[in-house]
Amino acid sequence: MVRPPLSSWDRERGRQLGRLLREARGERSMVDVAAACGVSVDTLRKIETGRIPTPALFTVAAVAATLDLSLDTLVEACQDNPSIQDDSNLIA
């Protein structure tokens, strides 16, 4: 099964998620947070920089729990952003 390409909105939402997690991490080191939530430093770095725009739910849940963030808070903060055009219906 081929995965459809991500839209601009998907990529921007991933960047927003990464920004939120990075801000919540504050002064804690990436190594400490990654170890505490059971993900690799590389995975955490990619999520925080938006290079993984659609990370796995359980990965996000583990990072959020480590940072004392609720998933509800993250979902609300990453809802539709009217300034981002959804190009998922564009024909190549």
Is residue 83 pLDDT above 60, yes or no?
A: no
- 91 — pLDDT class (breaks 50, 70, 90): very low
* Three-point CA angle 6, 47, 91, nearest 5°: 5
Structure-block tokens of residue 10: 């998907």
- 26 — pLDDT class (breaks 50, 70, 90): very high
* Residues 3-13: tens digit of each pLDDT: 889 899 999 99
- 81 — pLDDT class (breaks 50, 70, 90): low
Domains defined for the chain, CATH in brackets: 9-74 (1.10.260.40)
